[in-house]
Amino acid sequence: MADLSVNFAGIKSPNPFWLASAPPTNMGSMVERAFDAGWGGAVWKTLGEPIRNVCSRLAAIDLGPQRMIGLNNIELITDRSLDVNLKEIRECKRKYPKHALIVSLMVESRREAWHDIVRQVEDTGADGVELNFGCPHGMSERGMGAAMGQVPEYTSMVTEWVKEASSLPVIVKLTPNVTNIVPPGRAAVKGGADAISLINTINSVMGVNLDTLVPHPNVGGMAAHGGYCGPAVKPIALNMVSELARDREVGVPISGIGGISTWRDAAEFLLLGATTVQVCTAVMHYGYRIVEDMIDGLSNYLDDKGFASVHDIIGRSVERVTDWGNLDLNYKTVARIDHSKCIQCNLCHIACEDGAHQCIPLVQMNGTRFPVVDEAECVGCNLCYLVCPSPGCISMVRLDDGSHPQTWRELSSKQPETMTGD
C-alpha cells in the first residue's frame, strides 16, 4: 500500500487530507471527531478578536438535481473567545500528537497584535499557523483578510511580523480576488512564508429570491456579497495552484484548496503542485466521513499506477502546463463516433451546428439517421465529445500528418507583426 504521509514545510501529517479553516474546525470536539474519522490535519477556524455574525450566512447554487455545486458565505472568523480556543487546541494536540494541527489567524494590522497572538498559539503546541489574508467579506471592510492579500506589500509585511515572533512554520492563505495570483504569492515568500495555501473564497452574489426580490442570503431584507467555494470553484483554484507551482520565485510547498470533494479532485491538486489539500464545503455537505473514500481511493490509485508514495505524484503535471504560445499549432485531433454506442440524441449534431463548426451532419444509414463527423472540416474542438451522454461513444483521435510541431511563439519570432490569440 502506498505511503500517504506527507511532510509539509516541516509539518508531518499521516495523509494529505486536511480540513480547511471553516465551520468544520470550529472547536476541539469537532476537530477530534474529524481526526477520528481519518483526516490527517486540520486548520482551526480563524482566531482573532471574537466577532458577531449575522443571520443567515450561507447560500448555495444547485445544478439540476445536484445540490450545492457552489456555496457562498458571509460568516466571519471565530465568534468564540481566544482563551477557550487556545485551551481546546492545546488539548487536541495533546490527544492527537501525530496529526497536523494548524491555527488560522487574523488580527488587526498592528505588529504587536500579531506578535501577541502568534506567541500564544505557539505555546499550545500547535504545528503551524496559517495567516488568513483571504476572507473577502466583512473582515476586509475592517482592513483585514482580503484587504491584506490584495496588496502584496501588506502581505510581505505581516508575514515578516509573524516570522519575527515565532519559529512555527507559517502558511499564508491567499485570496483569489486578484487579477494575477503570482505577485501575492511571491510577496508571501518574500515576507518569509514557509508555505502557501489557496484559494480562499471568491467574491460572489449567489442569486436573488424571485418572490421577495432580495438576494441570497437574506439578512433582514438586505444582502451583501460573500465568498464563493465548493465544487464550482475547483478549476479556478487549480489554475491558481498551478500558476504558483510553475513560478520559480515562489518555490514553497502549497496547500491546495477549492472545490475538493473526492480523492480524484485531491489527486489533481497534488499533480498540479499541492503537497496537502484542504476541504471545507464537501464536509459541510456530507460530513467528516467523506475522508474515508478520499484515503482509500487515493491509496488504490497510487497502487494501481505503481507509485510508492504520495510524494511521487506531487507536482508531476506541473511541467505539462505551459503558456498558450508554447502549444503545438500542428497537433491535430478529430472527433470519431462509434455508432454502436450512439443513442441518437443528436446533441453532438446541434452542438457542432450551433456552437462549433457545422461538421456533424445527420446521415441516413440503413434506415436510421446517425451523426457522422466530416473529418476534413472538424477542428477537433472537443465540444461534441463533451456533450455526448453515451460513455465511450465519441472519441477524439489524433491525425498525424507528419508535420513538425510548431508553436505560436516560434512563428511570431519569425514574423514581426503581432498575432492575436484568445
Partner 1 sequence: MSVTHETPITFEQIERNFREIAPPLTEAEAVMEANRCVYCYDAPCTRACPTHIDVPSFIKKIASGNLTGSARVIFDANPIGATCARVCPVDVLCEGACVEKTLMDKPIEIGRLQRYATDAATSRGRELFKAGVSNGKSVGIVGSGPAGLSCATYLARLGYDVTIYERKELPGGLDTYGMASLGELETSHDAVFLGVGLGATARLGIPGEGLEGVYDALDFIERIKTREWASVPIGHTVAVVGAGNTAIDAVTQARRLGAERVLMIYRRSAREMPAYQYEYELAKQDAVEFWWQTAPVEIVADATGSRVASLRCVRMELGEPDASGRRSTQPVAGTEFDIQVDMVVKALGQQKRLDLFGQISGVELDAAGRVRVDKGTMQTGNPKFFAGGDCVNGGREAVDASQMGKLAAQGIHFALTGERVELAGAKIVSPKTSGLH
Query: Which chain residues interact with ligand SF4 by CB under 6 A?
Result: 335, 337, 342-348, 351-352, 356-357, 359-360, 371, 373, 378-384, 387-388, 390, 393-394
Looking at beta carbons only, is 180 or 366 nearer to ligand SF4?
A: 366
CB of 360 to partner 1, least distance (A): 10
Active-site pick, 135, 352, 378, 388: 135
CB of 271 to partner 1, least distance (A): 31
Q: Is 207 in the site for partner 1 (CB under 8 A)?
A: no
Q: Decide if 55 is catalytic.
A: no
Supply the angle between the helices 82-95 and 28-37 in degrees, to the nearest 10: 30
Residue 367 partner contact from ligand SF4, partner 1, none using kind-dependent CB cut-offs of 5 to 8 Å: none
Query: 5 to 64, contacts with partner 1 by CB under 8 A?
Result: 64
CB of 215 to ligand SF4, least distance (A): 33
Reported as type and span, the H/E element at residue 391 is none
Residue 64 partner contact from ligand SF4, partner 1, none using kind-dependent CB cut-offs of 5 to 8 Å: partner 1
Dump the DSSP string for 185-249: HHHHHHTT-SEEEE---EEE---B-TTT-PBSSPBTTB---EEEESGGGHHHHHHHHHHHHH-TT
Looking at beta carbons only, is 364 or 418 nearer to partner 1?
A: 364
Pair 229, 71: CB distance under 8 Å: yes
- Calpha distance 74→57 (Å, rounded): 5
Reported as type and span, the H/E element at residue 405 is none
Pair 70, 231: CB distance under 8 Å: yes
Reported as type and span, the H/E element at residue 86 is helix 82-95
Residue 372 partner contact from partner 1, ligand SF4, none using kind-dependent CB cut-offs of 5 to 8 Å: partner 1
- Calpha distance 77→172 (Å, rounded): 16
Residue 369 partner contact from ligand SF4, partner 1, none using kind-dependent CB cut-offs of 5 to 8 Å: partner 1
Q: Is 369 in the site for partner 1 (CB under 8 A)?
A: yes
Query: 370 to 399, contacts with partner 1 by CB under 8 A?
Result: 372, 389-390
Pair 18, 279: CB distance under 8 Å: yes
Pair 360, 348: CB distance under 8 Å: yes
Looking at beta carbons only, is 302 or 351 nearer to partner 1?
A: 351
CB of 63 to partner 1, least distance (A): 9
Dump the DSSP string for 130-163: EEE----SSTGGGT-THHHHTSHHHHHHHHHHHH
Looking at beta carbons only, is 105 or 359 nearer to ligand SF4?
A: 359
Looking at beta carbons only, is 280 or 337 nearer to ligand SF4?
A: 337
Which one of 11-19, 38-46, 152-160, 361-369 is the stretch in contact with partner 1 (CB under 8 A)? Answer: 361-369
CB of 374 to partner 1, least distance (A): 9
Residue 77 partner contact from partner 1, ligand SF4, none using kind-dependent CB cut-offs of 5 to 8 Å: none
Looking at beta carbons only, is 364 or 418 nearer to ligand SF4?
A: 364
Q: How far is CA 32 from CA 39, 104, 141, 390, 400, in A?
A: 10, 17, 33, 44, 56
Residue 50 partner contact from partner 1, ligand SF4, none using kind-dependent CB cut-offs of 5 to 8 Å: none
Interacting residues of 270 by C-beta distance below 8 A, sequence separation 6+: 16, 256, 277, 310, 313, 314, 315
CB atoms within 10 A of CB 357: 14
Among 361, 377, 379, 407, binds partner 1 (CB under 8 A): 361
Dump the DSSP string for 40-56: SEEEEEEESS-----S-
- Give the 3-state secondary structure percentages of the chain, helix then strand then coil, rounded to 5: 35, 20, 45
Residues engaged in binding partner 1 (CB under 8 A): 64-65, 343-347, 349-350, 353, 361-365, 369, 372, 389-390
Q: Catalytic positions, please? A: 135
